């Protein structure tokens, strides 16, 4: 029988790429995805919408989540549904806790009540580490947590309630913290797609050749979202339930600042002379200067490593936004 795979947040950035990865496995998998009736964006999954078995479910409703798990009876769950954009979390901290913590709790509780034997992957974020000092790099699983935004706190809560359900009820919870991942389908409110979107507009003559940006000098290890989709699948196959693993590219070429990415994207443009300026409304109240991960534990356990070059991340993102702007979709 095919394995029953459930992806929450399947209509989003990572969820849609993970759906592509699952469907590429062919008849060995039966794919289920959640949406909120007519409220979910479907453009990210338009190319595969007929290959997903859809379930309408608001994850904030614990009864609906229990019915979802009882109906689908998944063998493997990827919990990608989340509020993931950091900036609004200062204005909406309760919403971020509701979506990131409570929805996870509802899913875990549904698994417990249904006696589910599924593996569930709960993807955390490098943002949870927050204020890491240069002497503390690279970040490891046991590095101190100093979160500096409400989003990070909500993701810590999500991670730890997963650990509680592993310890208390024996649920097969796979815990990871993933560092910056980019590529096509990421919304233009995030750094790299925001730069690419504006460049695409410049090329179409829809805005002057001057980009508005936020803080640019934070360092990250960037990974292509398609590599991350593979990592998540491998995590549910090979990682030890309850253990924590960091995921991201270790390649030296992938450790960059946002300024590096911006200036390379400008070089790729068909328009010469594009400039940029920092605009206060795009600068967050607190910064996270260094999110550089040591992923040795995950690599040793799974054999996974990133394959797609940093340059390709930028190319794929820019081409995606060029296509959307040219089609009048952005």
pLDDT in tens, 241-251: 999 999 999 88
Handedness of CA 5, 120, 236, 227 (dihedral sign): positive
Domain span(s) for CATH 3.90.25.10 in the chain: 186-220+252-286+307-326
Q: Are 306 and 227 in contact (CB under 8 A)?
A: yes
Residue 134 pLDDT? 93
CA distance 259 to 238: 36
pLDDT at 322: 98
pLDDT tens column, 311-325? 999 999 999 999 999
**Mean pLDDT over residues 176-180, rounded?**
98
Task: Write down the pLDDT at residue 250.
Answer: 87
Residue 186 clears pLDDT 90, i.e. is over it:
yes
Per-residue pLDDT tens over the stretch 211-249: 999 999 999 999 999 999 999 999 999 999 999 999 999
Query: Alpha carbon of 17 to those of 44, 78, 80, 195, 203: distances in Å?
Result: 9, 12, 11, 21, 27
| CATH number for the domain whose boundaries are 3-181+223-247 | 3.40.50.720
Question: What was the pLDDT predicted at 279?
Answer: 97
* Mean of pLDDT values over 140-168: 98
**Whether 2 contacts 25, CB under 8 Å:** no
Q: Vertex 132, ends 185 and 187: CA angle to 5°?
A: 10
Q: Which of 15, 14, 12, 18 is CA-nearest to residue 230? A: 18
Range(s) of the chain covered by CATH 3.40.50.720: 3-181+223-247
Helix then strand then coil, % of the chain, to nearest 5: 45, 20, 35
CATH 3.40.50.20 fits 186-220+252-286+307-326, yes or no: no
For position 273, what pLDDT does the model report?
A: 97
- Pick left, alpha or beta for residue 290 (phi over 0 → left; psi -120 to 50 → alpha; otherwise beta): beta
- The arithmetic mean of pLDDT across residues 81-102, rounded, is 98
- Percent of the chain having pLDDT more than 70? 100
What would the pLDDT profile of 16-39 be if each residue is shown by its tens digit? 999 999 999 998 999 999 999 999
**Alpha carbon 283 to chain centroid distance?**
21
Strand-pair category, 219-221 with 290-291? parallel
Residue 290's pLDDT band, with cuts at 50, 70 and 90, is very high
Computed over every residue of the chain, the mean pLDDT equals 97
């Amino acid at each position: 029988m095919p394995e029953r795979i459930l992806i929450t947040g399947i209509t989003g950035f990572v969820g849609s790429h993970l759906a592509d990865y699952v469907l590429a496995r062919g008849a060995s998998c039966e794919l289920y995805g959640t949406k909120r009736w007519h409220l979910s964006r479907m453009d990210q999954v338009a190319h595969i919408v007929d290959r997903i078995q859809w379930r309408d479910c608001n994850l904030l409703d614990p009864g609906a989540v229990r019915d979802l798990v009882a109906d689908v009876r998944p063998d493997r769950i990827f919990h990608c549904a989340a509020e993931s954009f950091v900036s609004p979390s200062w204005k909406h901290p309760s919403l971020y806790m509701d979506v990131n913590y409570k929805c996870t709790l509802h899913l875990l509780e549904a698994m417990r009540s249904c006696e589910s034997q599924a593996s569930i992957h709960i993807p955390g974020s490098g943002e949870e580490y927050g204020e890491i000092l240069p002497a503390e790099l690279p970040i490891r699983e046991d590095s101190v947590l100093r979160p500096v935004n409400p989003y990070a706190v909500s993701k810590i809560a999500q991670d730890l309630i997963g650990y509680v359900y592993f310890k208390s009820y024996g649920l097969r919870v796979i815990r990871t913290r993933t560092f910056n991942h980019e590529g096509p389908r990421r919304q233009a409110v995030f750094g790299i797609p925001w730069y690419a979107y504006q460049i695409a507009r410049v090329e179409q003559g829809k805005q002057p050749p001057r980009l508005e940006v936020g803080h640019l000098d934070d360092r990250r290890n960037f990974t292509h979202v398609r590599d991350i989709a593979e990592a998540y699948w491998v995590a549910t196959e090979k990682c030890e339930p309850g253990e924590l693993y960091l995921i991201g590219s270790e390649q030296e070429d992938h450790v960059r600042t946002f300024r590096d990415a911006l200036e390379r994207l400008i070089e790729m443009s068909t328009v010469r002379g594009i400039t940029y300026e920092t605009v206060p409304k795009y600068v967050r109240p607190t910064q996270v200067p260094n999110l550089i991960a040591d992923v040795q534990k995950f690599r040793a356990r799974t054999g996974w490593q990133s394959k797609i070059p940093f340059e390709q991340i930028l190319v794929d993102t820019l081409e995606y936004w060029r296509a959307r702007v040219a089609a009048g979709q952005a």
